[in-house]
Amino acid sequence: MSNASPHSNGGPSLLDRLPASIFPRVSGLHAAALIIAILLIGLLIIPVLQVIYVAFLDPNTGALTLQNFVDFFRTSLFRESFWNSFYVSAMSVVVATVIALPLAYITTRFNFAGSVVIQSLGFIPLIMPPFVGAVAMQLIFGRNGTLNLLMEEKFGINIPFMEGLNGVILVQSIHYFPFILINLSTSLRNIDRSMEEAAQNLGSQGMRLFRRIVFPLAMPGYIAGAALVFIKVFDDLGTPLLLNVNNMLAPQAFLRISSIGISDPMGYVISFILVAFSIFSLWASFLVMRGKDYSTVQKGGGGLSKRDLRTGEKVAAYAVVGLILLLVLSPHIGLTLLSFATIWSFAPLPDGFTIQNYIVMWENSKQFIANTVIYAGIAAVLDVIIGTAIAYIVIRTGIWGRKSLDYLATAALAVPGVVLGIGYLRVFHSIDIPFTDKPMASWWVIIALALMIRRLPYALRACTAALQQVSLALEEAAESLGATKSSTIRRIVIPLMSGGILAGFVTSFATAAVELSATIMLVSSESDAPLAYGIYLFMQTPSGRGAGAALGVVAVIIVGLGTFLSQLMIERDKKFKSTDQSH
Amino acid sequence: MTNQLVGIEINDLHLSFGETEVLTGVNLDIQPGEFFAFLGPSGSGKSTLLRSIAGFGPTPRGSIRIGGRDVVNLPPWKRNVGMVFQSYALWPHMSVRDNVGFGLKERKVPSTEIAPRVDAALELVGLSHLADRMPNQLSGGQQQRIALARTVVVEPEVLLLDEPLSNLDASLRVQMRRELLALQRKLGLTTIFVTHDQEEANTTADRMAVLDKGVIQQIGTPQELYDTPQNLFVAEFLGTANILGGQVETDGSAKRFRTSAGDVLPLSEGHAGAGSIVLRPQNMQIVDQAAADTLPGTILHREFMGSQVRYIVRTSGTEMIVDQFHHVGHDWRDTGSDVHLKVNTNEAVIVAS
């Protein structure tokens, strides 16, 4: 055998002998950390701070003032919008809870054959952007929708499910209840059987046991889900806009900026309120959750004890699950029907069926779809690159300030799309596109960057989880065999993270593809518009609804396929690594 | 092997994690070709010391010379130190062949040379037939051997083994222990083996270092450490020890040990001063008659262990563990009976305190 040792002859090179303090060993990673920090500050922090700053500026003199806020609360439309947004968010949490609670209870407490259905209920709504389903919901639940027409015919009653704010509440709670369902079921499942048995052993039972033991243990999960629903609904722009409910905060911000212009202070005041509420809700749920990691399942132990349902209970359970399933699928059913409908108006079902809508959609939407693929593609690629880099820097290095990269990237969660959009308009309208004299604010690249920032927290979570799965010893083994840091990252870390990275990419891509709230602010011409904006445009005219629905179906397929693929990758990855950490 | 055998010299090594010092003033001189063990309880710093030789963890103060070259400031990949990890750390996305060939590829060995060397390494650990498997298709013992093949194939100057047997079940552990030793002898590689299991260290190591609280307590052959522990920690950590505190007294040429309870035992050697006497369970016999070299006691408890019977005897100072060989037909002592312990003082060790 010949000797392949890298330094059996000659000893260490000059570079090796230099002290590490003069030439830090991982300068490549330092450079990456610096670039990411600059990107995050430039594309997230500065635009948001700018928006907040402008909210406190006198539009005429440029002096600091609280006058804008006084004006805001003096205007009855804004006061009404504020309370409407608050009311809609709170009611959405209530309705979503009413939907999620029985489902969570049935799956975690009983041996129920329909649990698979409940599990799929946990993600079916999420694969449809709420604004896409909103129009279809009107055709089913609206004043002249399928349900009311049928009820009028049979019983002579008409229930205003979709009137004004009710419509927003219904659409949002059907879309967002999975957040509560998933969080609540997880925390219920994480309660060890012994917790309950210990209480029974000490004489507690029935409702009292539930109230004193099970419910408090499950509370943190519920709060986490509920806070998320509240913020999402509070910030959402697309759904109220498509339902033509304009007296809420996000639509008001959009309308002020798009109709009056970026110098109107009201848009900024509203943005400030949106950000403040987001941060406040996140902070409040953090406070409630602090020190309450109630995951009590022991190794080998199961969750709460389950019992079989009696016949009557079984019928009731299936009825509840069936009803919710129908409700949850109604946007999907409505959208599909609408996309194949000739005319659907004042009738329980469309007059006839055709594929004409798809042809019209395809002829008019090629540009939208192409733009979507480009924007979401750029956003998702950047997200996983930055996400992987941040995850590695935070978990594996001692670089100063590394945690703040994580916080910065995650802070994007608290920034509503409308606010980010307004911030970009404000910051980039005064900066020209390189080598041209057109403002950057109207450049399509800005849309892709906004999407990148919006989806970064999700990609970062996926990458962090993937890296945490890679045992440090696997890297050290490579290094002790002569692989440098960069070679180790390339040949060991990235391949082992690939499943998580791909899952992060797909999730980012799929959700960025249907993002409306930030893009609607930033689209400057129809030729730059992505798919979500296309759906919005189609839905503005009654004749365009069919084609809009067809484009909506395309969006649902993209997100659904994306969700499915990322699940597949995560599962495959788990199986692949199952033996690695298990000994 | 064309590799020249190298030794490892560690001088005044200090290492801290933040405020807590985990290694304090470590000095070691490991001979070329030696099978050396670091033995200590968990948290003693033995793994930290091993990892700093490999180049992992914070950079320590002091020097680590491998074959005369100070490696303290070198990154792991420039050290040519082979390490086998406790978890084996086989890369799950690579086949056995790719795992074993990894280090050779990193060293830019031509691919025509890689294949035969990988085959030879697999041959060495007797797993040639598993070359195309993935790591998750292997048993624990097989993974262990692959990890070993992956490390030795690059012909490192030093082989480091971090608790390599702890993830194996008991029967396999004894077998792998022998295989490891045989392989080490065959390759003649300077090897350091970290373990918390004294039996593992005793049966394999040429010499070993016992660590506690980041300090090397004693270095020597297993027998030296067992027979002549330099302090109470080593005495108690290796095997079972009965320890009596007291004084060594000299009176002309006569020497004796006076326990703190007042009993006196004659000694053949020793220096005057406070100290402890270390008595192994087999250093005493239970007798009926008192003598100059006996301690009075009462049998508290009896355990039958097969080849021997273990008695717990209360003496005036303390409770002593005494092992007596078991022979067919011999009567056992009953609990509660008053006896005398005859101490073989020439086998006892006095540890100064």
- The pLDDT value recorded for residue A349 is 79
**pLDDT (average), residues A195-204:** 72
Displacement of CA A10 from its chain's centroid (Å) = 56
Q: Does residue B278 sit in the same domain as residue B231?
A: no
**pLDDT (average), residues A304-323:** 81
A415 CB contacts (<8 Å, ≥6 apart)?
Answer: A44, A48, A275, A278
> Coil, strand, or helix at residue B121?
helix
Tens digit of pLDDT for each residue in A209-256? 777 777 788 888 888 889 889 988 998 998 998 888 889 999 999 998
Residue B127 maps to a domain: yes
B202 DSSP assignment: H
- The pLDDT value recorded for residue A576 is 63
A51 CB contacts (<8 Å, ≥6 apart)?
Answer: A268, A271, A272, A275, A419, A422, A423, A426
Q: Tell me which chain B residues have a C-beta less than 8 angstroms from the C-beta of A483.
A: 77, 102-103, 106
Burial (CB count within 10 angstroms: exposed 0-12, middle 13-18, buried 19+), residue B136: middle
Q: Does residue A181 sit in the same domain as residue A123?
A: yes
Query: Average pLDDT, whole number, for chain A?
Result: 82
Q: Does residue B256 sit in the same domain as residue B324?
A: yes
Q: How many other C-beta atoms can be found within 10 angstroms of the C-beta atom of residue A111?
A: 10
Q: Does residue B69 sit in the same domain as residue B136?
A: yes
Q: Does residue A132 sit in the same domain as residue A95?
A: yes
- The pLDDT value recorded for residue A295 is 57
**pLDDT (average), residues A359-384:** 89
A350 DSSP assignment: -
Q: Per-residue DSSP letters for A353-367? A: B-SHHHHHHHHHHHH
Selected residue of A15, A472, A481 to mutate for chain B interface (largest B Cβ count, 10 A): A481
What's the CA gap between B222 and B47, in Å, rounded? 19
What's the CA gap between B157 and B76, in Å, rounded? 13
Nearest CA in chain B to A20: B73
The ranges of chain B with pLDDT < 70 are 1-3
> Coil, strand, or helix at residue A334?
helix
**pLDDT (average), residues A164-191:** 87
Query: B137 with B184: CB under 8 angstroms?
Result: no
What's the CA gap between A390 and A409, in Å, rounded? 9
Q: How many other C-beta atoms can be found within 10 angstroms of the C-beta atom of residue A447?
A: 30
Asked whether the predicted pLDDT for residue A107 surpasses 60, the reply is yes
Q: Does residue A210 sit in the same domain as residue A326?
A: yes
- The pLDDT value recorded for residue B218 is 95
Asked whether the predicted pLDDT for residue A1 surpasses 50, the reply is no
How many structural domains comprise chain B? 2
Q: Does residue A345 sit in the same domain as residue A363?
A: no
Whose tokens are 């400031």? That residue is B73
CB-side neighbour CA atoms (13 Å) of A457: 10
Q: Does residue A104 sit in the same domain as residue A235?
A: yes
Residue A354, both tokens = 């055709």
**Sign of dihedral through CA atoms A346, A352, A355, A359?**
negative
Residue A13 maps to a domain: no
Picking from A500, A465, A495, A506, the residue whose alpha carbon sits closest to that of residue A571 is: A500
Asked if the ipTM is above 0.90, the reply is: no
Q: How many other C-beta atoms can be found within 10 angstroms of the C-beta atom of residue B306?
A: 6
Residue B2 maps to a domain: no
Backbone angles phi, psi at A151, to 5 degrees: -65, -35
A374 CB contacts (<8 Å, ≥6 apart)?
Answer: A444, A448
Tens digit of pLDDT for each residue in A510-568? 888 888 888 888 888 888 888 888 888 888 887 788 888 888 888 888 888 888 888 88
How many structural domains comprise chain A? 2
Q: Does residue B37 sit in the same domain as residue B82?
A: yes
Asked whether the predicted pLDDT for residue A459 surpasses 50, the reply is yes
- The pLDDT value recorded for residue A2 is 41
- The pLDDT value recorded for residue B251 is 81
Q: Does residue B78 sit in the same domain as residue B186?
A: yes
**Residue A137 vs residue B28, higher pLDDT:** B28
Angle, CA A513 vertex, CA A512 and CA A519 arms, to 5°: 70
Tens digit of pLDDT for each residue in A275-310? 998 888 888 877 777 666 555 555 445 566 677 777
Q: Tell me which chain A residues have a C-beta less than 8 angstroms from the C-beta of B1.
A: 1
Residue A19 maps to a domain: no
H or E element that contains B223: helix B222-227
- Picking from A7, A17, A491, the nearest residue to B80 by CB comes out as A7
Q: Does residue B62 sit in the same domain as residue B143?
A: yes
Asked whether the predicted pLDDT for residue A126 surpasses 80, the reply is no
- Picking from A8, A476, A491, the nearest residue to B89 by CB comes out as A476
Q: Tell me which chain A residues have a C-beta less than 8 angstroms from the C-beta of B117.
A: 1
**Sign of dihedral through CA atoms A81, A84, A89, A92?**
negative
Residue A16 maps to a domain: no
- The pLDDT value recorded for residue A508 is 87
- Picking from A473, A487, A579, the nearest residue to B92 by CB comes out as A579
- The pLDDT value recorded for residue A303 is 60
Q: Tell me which chain A residues have a C-beta less than 8 angstroms from the C-beta of B76.
A: 476, 479-480
Q: What is the CATH number of the domain that holds A294?
A: 1.10.3720.10
Query: A549 with A135: CB under 8 angstroms?
Result: yes
Q: Does residue A362 sit in the same domain as residue A321?
A: no
**Percent of chain A having pLDDT more than 70?**
90
Structural domain boundaries, residue A91: 69-300+310-349
The shortest C-alpha distance from A571 to chain B (Å) reads: 15
What's the CA gap between A269 and A263, in Å, rounded? 12
Q: Does residue A363 sit in the same domain as residue A345?
A: no
What's the CA gap between B343 and B36, in Å, rounded? 34
**pLDDT (average), residues A494-518:** 86
What's the CA gap between B234 and B258, in Å, rounded? 22
Residue B286 maps to a domain: yes
What's the CA gap between B258 and B268, in Å, rounded? 14
Would residue A350 be called left, alpha or beta, if left means φ above 0 and alpha means ψ between -120 and 50 degrees?
A: beta
Selected residue of A9, A396, A480 to mutate for chain B interface (largest B Cβ count, 10 A): A480
Q: Does residue B39 sit in the same domain as residue B116?
A: yes
**Residue A575 vs residue A73, higher pLDDT:** A73
Whose tokens are 């717990």? That residue is B312
H or E element that contains B247: strand B242-251
Model confidence, pTM: 0.78
Picking from B330, B339, B331, B335, the residue whose alpha carbon sits closest to that of residue B301 is: B335
- The pLDDT value recorded for residue A583 is 37
Residue A15 maps to a domain: no
Residue A485 pLDDT level (bands cut at 50, 70, 90):
confident
Structural domain boundaries, residue B179: 8-235
The last residue of one of the domains, among B235, B266, B293, is: B235
Q: Does residue B66 sit in the same domain as residue B194?
A: yes
